[in-house]
Structure formats: C-alpha cells, structure tokens
C-alpha cells in the first residue's frame, strides 16, 4: 500500500465505483430506474441535493446543483433547499419529498421508526407507488454516493 501526498482538492483514491466497474454499472442501472419512475426530475435533483447537504458531501452538493440546473431549477430555489421549511418556493409534493429525504437520511438520529408515520403518509398521499419508489431509490443512491465520496474525500467539482 502506498501513501501519497494530497491536497484538499485531491481524493484519497479513485472512487470505489470506478475501481470496480461492475459496481458502477449496477449503480447506473438503479439511477436510470429512479429516473424512469415517473417522479419529476427536478424533484429527484432536490432530493439528491438535500441528502448531500445533510451528509456534508461537497462533491454531491456540487453535482446536485449542476443536475438541478440542467433540469431547469432556479438559483433562488437552490439557495433555499437547506431551509425548505421556511422558504415559500416549494410545492407540497417537494416538501413531502424533502421531509422523507431528511428522515431517511438521518435514520440514526431517531428512536423508533426511522421515517415517522406522518412523514411517510404525507409522501404516500402525494405520489404514486412508482414515483415514491423513484424518490426512495434516489435517497438511497444519494446516501451511497455521499458515503463513497466522503470516505475517499472526493473534492467538489471532480469528474469521474
């Protein structure tokens, strides 16, 4: 094993999903499935951004903002994602998805159910089973990306 000198702008190693190509193919398949589930792509990008903010993943926050902009998201709303409860810019559907994102991302912060019934019910009332599946997959994938990137210290703006 070799030790290399790094700066704050270089990762400890290549992303594990790139080192093991079969892993990356599996991740891509799940990612594509999430986008085929009927949920609004802008909503999925907001979910990705919020989970990444919670987990402190600079690479994913950076990518989340870029992805949201590609889908037509505004700077005003992107700046408010971290404070979505207080911001007037979000729909009931977005609020339900963001609440679900926070609960599912912060599972260790709760005693009892990781996702409280009121959070689940709000999301289940507003989304079809397919859309809800897409949102949950995006939350799970984002948490996976966040853990990979924060472990190897992937810098914001890095490209794989």
- How far, in Å, CA of 28 to CA of 20, rounded? 13
pLDDT value for 109: 86
CATH number of the domain enclosing 71: 1.20.1290.10
Asked if residue 138 is part of any domain, the answer here is yes
Instruction: Count structural domains, the chain.
Output: 1
For residue range 108-156, list pLDDT tens digits in order: 888 788 899 999 999 999 999 999 999 999 999 999 999 999 999 999 9
Measure Cα distances from 15 to 35, 60, 98, 145 in Å.
Answer: 23, 13, 27, 10
Q: Is the pTM of this model over 0.95?
A: no
Asked if residue 70 is part of any domain, the answer here is yes
Asked if residue 84 is part of any domain, the answer here is yes
């Amino acid at each position: 094993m070799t030790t290399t000198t790094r700066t704050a702008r270089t990762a400890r190693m290549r992303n594990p999903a790139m080192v093991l190509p079969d892993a990356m193919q599996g991740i891509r398949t799940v990612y594509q499935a999430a986008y085929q589930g009927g949920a609004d792509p802008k909503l999925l990008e907001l979910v990705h951004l919020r989970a990444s903010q919670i987990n402190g993943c600079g690479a994913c926050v950076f990518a989340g903002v870029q992805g949201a902009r590609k889908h037509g998201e505004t700077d005003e709303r992107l700046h408010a994602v971290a404070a979505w409860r207080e911001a007037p810019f979000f729909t009931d559907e977005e609020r339900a998805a963001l609440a679900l994102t926070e609960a599912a991302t912060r599972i260790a912060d709760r005693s009892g159910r990781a996702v409280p019934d009121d959070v689940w019910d709000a999301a289940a009332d507003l989304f079809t089973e397919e859309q809800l599946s897409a949102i949950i997959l995006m939350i799970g994938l984002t948490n996976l990306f966040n853990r990979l990137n924060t472990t190897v210290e992937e810098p914001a703006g890095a490209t794989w």
